[in-house]
A and B are shown apart, each in its own frame.
Chain A
Amino acid sequence: MTTTTLTVPRSGRSRLTAHPRAIRDTRSAWLFIAPFGIFYLAFLLGPTIYMFIMSFFNTSTVRTGLGSFAGFANYAEMLTRADFWSSLWHTLQFTIYTTPPLVIIAFVFAVLTNRMRHAQWFYRLAFFLPFILPSATISLIWVFIFTPSTGLWALAQEALGMTPGSGVLSSPNTAMIGIAIATLWWTLGFNYVLYLAGLQEIPRELYEAAAVDGATPWQQIWSVTVPMLSRTTTLVLLLQIIASLKIFDQVYLMTGGGPGISTQVSLQLITGTAFTDNRVGAASAASVLLFIVIIVIAVIRQVADRAAARKEF
């Protein structure tokens, strides 16, 4: 995509003096990398490795050290616990509810915005602003909107001739849908600006050629815009899935996982096991399992991105 700057060729000049330069550079290079490297090792790679180690021990928050060796017991426990699977299912459920509308609606809004000649700032403001708001703000706003029978949602339902039920968030059947609606409103702007950026890359000539051939606006969108944005769509889809799997904030703030555990998601199960039950080892095993799922999707993303990049050049 906008990676033209990546391919700036290294100047051949420095290669002539490569040997003495390389030695001098090695020392200063590592000095430049050291500050970031220390934080990287201490707070990113280190914790990742430590998480794997702890998952094989009966580590707890109340005792120091790793605790006794547990082998695969933590994994066995997690994989046989009903609430582990239900939290994974709720995470998946959330992903299924949010991903299609977040991708499709963002695409539609971006395509329409791109055609507008006036007031583009207004659409950007309307669709993108929610994305930079804290999850706490989003959740407080939407919990209030979803207030049973007197909230704005109930008011809108009445206006549309529907009977407002007992409240979207208070029923196990609809609570996750309520969270998904709030999330759609909150994060649509991210995909929206990615699509807008993608649209800038499509050469005008393609539309002009299509118009000359007599293509209607619909046909232009189907046969020019959609295929030209396929790389953006792949990217948006995978980013969206990864973000959805890490969902925590909205659920914690809007329903606390309830009613019952009907909306409890994986990260909530993990933090609950670690900080409420004090069972860090078991929580680490659950973390590792979620970690693996996310990494698999991230690897698919990298591979897809590489493949697409290779096709382009």
Chain B
Amino acid sequence: MTTVTARRRTASPVSSAAPSRRPHRPVDSRTFNIVAAIVLVVFAIIWLIPSLFALKTSLTDNGVAATGASEILKNWNLTLYSYSTLLGQNDIWNWYTASAITSVITAALTVLFASMAAFALSRLRFRGSNLVLLLIILGIMIPTQVLIVPIFQLLNWMNLLNTYWSVIFPQVPAVIAVFIFKQFFDGIPRELEEAARIDGASQWRIYWSVIMPLSRPVIAAVTILTFVGVWNNLLLPLFVLSNPDLMTIPVGLATVQGSFGQRYADIQAGAILAALPLVILYLIFQRQIVEGVTGSGLKG
């Protein structure tokens, strides 16, 4: 996939060598780098404030939180009350279950089906391959959110509304995944599968036992990206799920936030609980996520 990000971390090419070489510059690289570092640190802190403020609020007493931001920042009697309240209710566990089931199944189906299609496009010569490629490029351009109305009608007709399938099925055909897999497969040297071909291995065997084991990085990237995408989707589950027990966590939160009233600590705890699995996933798979996002952005 991409060579992105991980390499050449230390690429600040000029800074180390330049200052001694040209001492007469009014703004030399060293000054520039110091100013740059200060600016960057200040903005990085600004960027962290909303999350940290939400975290602090969620650990504050509801009564204190209701009096405003200055009290929240002053009062440091931390409490886990909001978390224990939310986690003590069934709702959040139903929502976690719904989000986990739909995200995992969609990711599994997308990875399997998209990689199979990409294998055919990358390795097999067949009639109609140009048509398939054209449909793939067409598919990348289709904005799926705009299809919410016909997709709703279709799911209604299939009697799938208010099932997990109504969230899963429309998100399986992620055309970009085919594209990402195809690019990766195209880069795998053919010599690796020649031996298997000579031994008379079937195409399925080559796909499953040669190509897929070599594709772990791209499988990881597509899995995680699909998982995150499905977990975060609001529009589709908002309209196809009306049963509160089946709602995914963003939809569940959005639906009940009105009933929280002034319990701001609880609201912020809910916001953090909805994001927590993704934050953990990010901390573990930082590289795959960043590379996957970059790859899908560059190629999509």
Nearest Cβ on chain A to B191's Cβ, whole angstroms: 9
Complex interface: stretch among B64-72, B77-85, B86-94: B64-72
Nearest Cβ on chain B to A149's Cβ, whole angstroms: 8
Q: Which residues of B contact A28 (CB under 8 A)?
A: 120, 124, 202-204
Bound Cα distance A145, B195 (Å)? 62
Whether B210 sits at the interface, judged by CB under 8 Å, is no
Bound Cα distance A127, B150 (Å)? 36
Bound Cα distance A302, B142 (Å)? 13
Whether A271 sits at the interface, judged by CB under 8 Å, is yes
B residues lining the A interface (CB < 8 Å): 1-5, 7-15, 17-18, 21-22, 25, 27, 29, 32-33, 36-37, 39-40, 43-45, 47-51, 53-54, 57, 67-70, 73, 109, 112-114, 116-117, 119-121, 124-129, 132, 135, 137-154, 156-157, 169-170, 172-173, 175, 178, 183-184, 186-187, 190, 202-204, 207, 228, 231-232, 234-235, 238-239, 249-251, 253-254, 257, 264, 267-268, 270-272, 274-275, 278-279, 281-282, 286, 289-290, 293-294, 297-298, 300
Check A271–B298 contact: CB distance below 8 A.
Answer: no
Check A246–B145 contact: CB distance below 8 A.
Answer: yes
Evaluate whether A137 and B120 lie within 8 angstroms (CB atoms) in the complex, with A2-B3, A5-B183, A51-B149 already known: no
Q: Which residues of A contact B250 (CB under 8 A)?
A: 134-137
Check B54–A144 contact: CB distance below 8 A.
Answer: yes
Interface of A is mostly: helix
Check A1–B298 contact: CB distance below 8 A.
Answer: yes
Task: Choose from B5, B109, B279 the contact partner of A129 (Cβ within 8 Å).
Answer: B279
Q: Which residue of A is nearest B36, CB measured?
A: A112
Q: Which residues of B contact A204 (CB under 8 A)?
A: 11, 13
Extra inter-chain contacts (9) besides given A40-B135, A137-B272, CB under 8 Å? A2-B3, A18-B125, A30-B128, A116-B12, A129-B279, A134-B250, A216-B27, A295-B143, A298-B141
The interface centre, meaning the residue of B13, B29, B203, B253 with most chain A CB atoms within 10 A of its CB, is B13
Check A152–B14 contact: CB distance below 8 A.
Answer: no
Check A197–B5 contact: CB distance below 8 A.
Answer: yes
Evaluate whether A155 and B172 lie within 8 angstroms (CB atoms) in the complex, with A6-B186, A217-B29, A274-B149 already known: no
Bound Cα distance A30, B117 (Å)? 8
Bound Cα distance A113, B290 (Å)? 15
Q: Which residue of A is nearest B260, CB measured?
A: A140
Nearest Cβ on chain A to B204's Cβ, whole angstroms: 8
Check B51–A33 contact: CB distance below 8 A.
Answer: no
Task: Choose from B7, B14, B271 the contact partner of A200 (Cβ within 8 Å).
Answer: B7
Check A54–B153 contact: CB distance below 8 A.
Answer: yes
Check A5–B186 contact: CB distance below 8 A.
Answer: yes
Interface residue tally for chain A (C-beta within 8 Å): 117
Check A132–B148 contact: CB distance below 8 A.
Answer: no
Check B14–A270 contact: CB distance below 8 A.
Answer: no
Evaluate whether A194 and B36 lie within 8 angstroms (CB atoms) in the complex, with A134-B232, A140-B268, A204-B13 already known: no
- Counted as pairs of residues, one from A and one from B, with CB atoms less than 8 Å apart, the total is 353
Check A155–B70 contact: CB distance below 8 A.
Answer: yes
Check A5–B187 contact: CB distance below 8 A.
Answer: yes
Check A270–B290 contact: CB distance below 8 A.
Answer: no
Bound Cα distance A242, B140 (Å)? 12
Q: Which residues of A contact B170 (CB under 8 A)?
A: 43
Check B146–A291 contact: CB distance below 8 A.
Answer: yes
Task: Choose from A141, A214, A267, A298 the contact partner of B145 (Cβ within 8 Å).
Answer: A267
Check B50–A142 contact: CB distance below 8 A.
Answer: yes
Evaluate whether A291 and B143 lie within 8 angstroms (CB atoms) in the complex, with A33-B120, A135-B232, A218-B27 already known: yes
Q: Which residues of A contact B300 (CB under 8 A)?
A: 239
Whether A93 sits at the interface, judged by CB under 8 Å, is no
Check B297–A127 contact: CB distance below 8 A.
Answer: no
Check B33–A115 contact: CB distance below 8 A.
Answer: yes
Q: Which residues of B contact A151 (CB under 8 A)?
A: 68-69
Q: Which residues of B contact A298 (CB under 8 A)?
A: 140-141, 143
Bound Cα distance A25, B196 (Å)? 16
Evaluate whether A39 and B116 lie within 8 angstroms (CB atoms) in the complex, with A115-B36, A135-B250, A214-B22 already known: no
Check A284–B149 contact: CB distance below 8 A.
Answer: yes
Whether A80 sits at the interface, judged by CB under 8 Å, is no
Bound Cα distance A137, B2 (Å)? 30
Task: Choose from B2, B124, B172, B286 the contact partner of A197 (Cβ within 8 Å).
Answer: B2
Task: Choose from A1, A130, A190 the contact partner of B293 (Cβ within 8 Å).
Answer: A190
Check B69–A147 contact: CB distance below 8 A.
Answer: yes
Check A197–B257 contact: CB distance below 8 A.
Answer: no
Q: Which residues of A contact B51 (CB under 8 A)?
A: 129-130, 141
Check B11–A200 contact: CB distance below 8 A.
Answer: yes
Q: Which residues of B contact A129 (CB under 8 A)?
A: 51, 279, 282
Evaluate whether A126 and B47 lie within 8 angstroms (CB atoms) in the complex, with A136-B234, A193-B290 already known: yes
Whether A150 sits at the interface, judged by CB under 8 Å, is yes
